[in-house]
Amino acid sequence: MNERTKACAISKATKDAVYKRDRGQCVLCGKPGLPEAHYIPRSKGGLGIEQNIVTLCRPCHDLMDNTTARDSLLKRVKEHLDLWYPDFTDADRIYKKEQS
C-alpha cells in the first residue's frame, strides 16, 4: 500500500471519533449511519482524518456520491465540518506528498 493510499484510508480510531462526534447519525438526514464518507473524496486525495470524514446513512452516501444533488449535499457536509473545525481548510484535508 502506498503512502497516499494509507493517508486516505480511514482508521478504526478515526471512525470511532467521527461516530462519537456525529452521535452515530447521518449528518444530512439524522438516520443511523456509518462514519465512512469522505467530504473531499479519496480520488482527489481526501485524507482519512476526522476533519474530512462524516457519518452518513447509505441512501445519503449514495446520493452524495452518485447524483446531481452532490454539490448541495457537499455544501451541507462542509457546513457540518466547519462547525467542528472552523480553522480547518479544504487544502488541509488533501494529501500532500511532503506529509508522508
Q: How far apart are CA 79 and CA 38, in angstroms?
A: 14
Give the mean pLDDT of 82-94. Answer: 96
pLDDT in tens, 27-69: 999 999 999 999 999 999 999 999 999 999 999 999 998 989 9
In the chain the domains, ranked by start, together with CATH numbers, are: 3-90 (1.10.30)
The pTM of this model reads: 0.91
Pair 35, 19: CB distance under 8 Å: yes
